[in-house]
Homo-oligomer: A and B are copies of this chain.
Amino acid sequence: MQSKTLQELAALVGGKVIGDDTLTIHGASTLDKAGPGQITFFSNKKYLPQVKTTRASVVIAAEPIESSAALLIAEDPYYAFMQIVVSLHGHRRHPSTGISSQASIDKTAQLGAGCNVHPFVSISENAILGKNCQIYSGVFIGPNVKIGDDCIVYPNTVIYDGTLIGSRVIIQSNASIGQDGFGFATHKGVHHKIPQIGRVVLEDDVEIGSGCAIERGTLDDTIIGKGSKIGDSVAIGHGTKIGPHCLLVPQVGVAGSATLGHHVVLGGQVGVVGHIKVGNLVKVGAKAGVVNDVPDGATIVGTPAIDASIARRAYSLIEYLPDMKKKIKELERKLEKLDQPGE
């Protein structure tokens, strides 16, 4: 952890200070937890009241607001905050352990300079790792896997044979990459396993969460596009193509042979059925079930997922179904009475 003056931090993010720019900042925290010497940020209106009373020394905000703290005005407060947290705390440091004698590395495997390979790692035949990769304990790297430079693979993650991984890829713990797709030909009531001969391709700057399960393709590759970030416990089906710069929040499931464009955001527990096409810049609300192609730029929610502008109101009306049913019955009764005035 490092200390910086507010002036230095403002220069770092290209922001403007309202208040005392000689303050020394040594850490970052949330609006309600930050104390003197710490910086925080404001970007969710829900927390506006806390801005006024925060004990933080500095709040980063998009525009001047009333606050007990000095302000650092930055166009994109959360991005500025990210830069400052990196500057003060840095990312996780990886011990420079070299190649552990307790790892099992096939003699045909190639490791670039600066790799750290921890105990109980298995690296199989013809695997190739670039420079400066951090391979944590218990990781399995299968035959013919290719990994670029500066990748981090956290403990007990399993990378199956033939997986192709770019540079600066991060895979959190206990993930499975490239296991067999769920592919069976059912004949006379028996499910026959079909060899899964496609690969998984993780492009540059991808991050994969803990416990994810990314199936290899049956015939062509499963692809996670450049810069896409996949949360914990996400399951991706065989042959699915996730475009670049997507965000898939924890517990999302995307079935096989689906295609997602770029900058798609899938909320928590969203499910996408197989063989459909989700356009660019699509946003899908948490828990939605996507069953049809989705045009570029759409925001959808619900199961089945429909346009958010309609869906939010429509789904909230389910609560009134008993009432609606009763009213329809009443209307029917009254109308019947009117219809037969002679009785």
Contact = CB atoms under 8 A, between A and B. Distances in A.
Interface of A: 28-30, 33, 40, 44, 46, 76, 78-79, 81-82, 85-86, 89-92, 95, 100, 102, 104, 118-120, 122, 125, 136-138, 140, 143, 154-156, 158, 160-161, 170, 172-176, 179-180, 182, 184-187, 189-195, 197, 207, 209-213, 215, 219-220, 227, 229, 231-233, 235, 237, 239, 245, 247, 249-251, 253, 255, 263, 268-269, 271, 273, 275, 286-287, 289, 291, 302-304, 306, 310-311, 313-322, 324-325, 327-328, 331-332, 334-335, 338-339
A155 B286 CA distance: 32
A117 to B, nearest CB: 12
Contacts of A120: 104, 119-120, 122, 138
Given A119-B122, A324-B324, A335-B334, A179 B172 contact: yes
22 contacts: A28-B219, A30-B220, A82-B192, A85-B194, A92-B180, A104-B118, A119-B120, A122-B155, A160-B173, A174-B174, A182-B209, A190-B227, A191-B229, A211-B235, A213-B232, A253-B268, A268-B271, A269-B271, A269-B289, A320-B321, A321-B324, A324-B324
B286 A271 contact: yes
Contacts of A319: 306, 310-311, 314
Nearest to A77: B185
Contacts of A154: 158, 160, 179
Most B C-beta atoms less than 10 A away, residue of A28, A160, A268: A268
Contacts of A332: 327, 331
A334 B336 CA distance: 9
Contacts of A190: 227, 245
Nearest to A321: B317
A310 B323 CA distance: 10
A209 B179 contact: yes
Contacts of A324: 321, 324-325, 328
B220 A209 contact: no
Contacts of A180: 92, 170, 172
Given A310-B319, A327-B332, A191 B271 contact: no
